[in-house]
């Protein structure tokens, strides 16, 4: 029996057990995947799981890119942009925290991204599960999270390569892709309409991974290549079909990716410093007033502003992507902060979102609904 099959069986069993434990309580499974990795640590031969975790990361970024079709970008109304501006102030504040912590410019930028990013996937799931999708604060929080994903994608493009030539090569390649999509896109869509789901899945997987490899070959971030693949697919009107086809494969790969991150983070957290804990706490607290003020700019009442701020507490997938990038580029402090924020913020954020109405009533009691 091949060792990779044994490693996969162990990993899949751990992930299934963790997901089953949290499913009945309505919590997202991401932190459990990380904890499972921390528990097994070096006993799990993570190298035998490849390429599934790497594929999961690429498909995650591909799925983020699918959110940026022209229709979704048009949904970013003026009120959401105003709220997003206040939310984005976490970037310069996080950058300043990084400099004060002794990081260089690149490390401070990575820390700023970790502090700024919220878990759009976790937020969307909780809002749907709690049946709050029609609430005005949900619209604002989800719109702000879409803006965050776009900014993080730009950060990954900027920081994913160590050399300026890699960044320039990625920009040139992205422009070339967009040029061909503009002129060949309609023909491609008509061609794919007659294809089976199986063939579309295979073509989509080869396009995403091939683009990632091409970006890597020119010295740019392969993650940006996967993100760009999703943007192009969304622009061609293929979002719903590809989300349906890629969903199960992406979820499996993502679960394995987070398990591997947890296993590799064990040594990282053994060297945990008070500075990392302090930065994680500050990062969680920093955005609460920013998002509260942003909600005011979006026209929300006091309770709704509080709800929007609480909704954006959880950090998620892209926070870990930035943390992994930081670790690979020699910034273990940033990686520690990223892992800590995800482990703490998702269960805490889920509780805050669940009990947001009760918290709002206690903080802003009123006989009449506040506007």
- Per-position pLDDT tens, the chain of length 371: 666 777 788 788 878 887 787 776 666 677 778 778 877 776 777 677 777 788 888 888 888 778 776 666 666 667 778 888 999 999 999 999 999 999 999 999 999 999 998 877 777 767 766 778 778 888 888 888 888 888 888 888 777 766 666 667 777 888 887 788 777 777 777 777 778 888 888 888 888 889 888 888 877 778 788 888 888 888 777 778 888 888 888 888 888 887 887 777 777 777 788 999 999 999 999 999 999 998 888 888 888 899 989 989 988 778 888 888 888 888 999 999 998 898 888 888 878 888 888 888 888 886 554 44
Residue 110 falls within a domain, yes or no? Answer: yes
What residue numbers bound the domain in which 27 lies? 3-64+82-151+237-359
Residue 163 falls within a domain, yes or no? Answer: no
| Sole residue written with tokens 């805490």 | 348
Residue 189 falls within a domain, yes or no? Answer: no
By the 10 Å C-beta count (0-12 exposed, 13-18 middle, 19+ buried), 12 is classed as middle
Residue 335 falls within a domain, yes or no? Answer: yes
Residue 76 falls within a domain, yes or no? Answer: no
Residue 139 falls within a domain, yes or no? Answer: yes
DSSP string, 334-358: HHHHHHHHHHHHHHHHHHHHHTHHH
Residue 171 falls within a domain, yes or no? Answer: no
Q: What are phi and psi of 17, to 5 degrees?
A: -65, -45
Tokens read off for 227: 């993100």
CATH number at residue 345: 1.20.1530.20
Residue 53 falls within a domain, yes or no? Answer: yes
Question: How many structural domains does the chain have?
Answer: 1
């Amino acid at each position: 029996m091949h060792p990779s099959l044994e490693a996969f069986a162990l990993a899949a069993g751990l992930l299934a057990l963790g997901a089953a434990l949290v499913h009945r309580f309505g919590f997202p499974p991401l932190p459990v995947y990380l904890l499972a990795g921390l528990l097994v640590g070096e006993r799990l031969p993570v190298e035998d799981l490849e390429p599934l975790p790497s594929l999961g990361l690429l498909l995650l970024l591909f799925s983020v890119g699918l959110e940026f079709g022209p229709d979704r970008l048009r949904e970013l109304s003026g009120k959401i942009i105003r709220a997003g501006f206040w939310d984005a102030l976490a970037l310069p504040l996080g950058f300043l925290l990084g400099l004060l912590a002794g990081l260089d410019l690149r490390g401070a930028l990575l820390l700023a991204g970790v502090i700024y990013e919220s878990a759009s996937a976790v937020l969307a799931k909780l809002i749907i599960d709690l049946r709050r999708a029609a609430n005005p604060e949900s619209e604002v929080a989800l719109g702000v999270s879409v803006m965050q994903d776009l900014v993080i994608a730009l950060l990954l493009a900027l920081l994913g390569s160590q050399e300026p030539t890699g960044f320039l090569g990625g920009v040139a390649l992205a422009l070339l892709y967009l040029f061909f999509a503009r002129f060949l896109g309609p023909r491609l869509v008509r061609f794919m309409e007659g294809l089976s789901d199986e063939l579309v899945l295979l073509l989509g997987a080869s396009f995403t991974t091939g683009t990632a490899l091409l970006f890597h070959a020119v010295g740019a971030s392969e993650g940006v290549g996967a993100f760009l693949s999703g943007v192009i697919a969304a622009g061609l009107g293929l979002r719903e079909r590809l989300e349906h086809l890629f969903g199960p494969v992406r979820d499996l790969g993502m679960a394995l990716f987070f398990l591997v991150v947890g296993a590799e983070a064990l040594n990282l957290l053994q060297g945990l410093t008070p500075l990392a804990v302090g930065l994680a706490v500050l990062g969680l607290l920093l955005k609460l007033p920013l998002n509260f003020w942003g909600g005011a700019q979006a026209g929300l009442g006091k309770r709704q502003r509080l709800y929007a701020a609480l909704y954006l507490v959880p950090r998620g997938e892209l926070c870990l992507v930035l943390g992994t990038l930081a670790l690979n580029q020699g910034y273990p402090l940033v990686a520690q902060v990223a892992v800590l924020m995800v482990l703490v913020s998702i269960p805490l954020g889920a509780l805050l979102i669940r009990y947001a109405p009760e918290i709002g009533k206690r903080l802003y009691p009123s006989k009449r609904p506040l506007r």
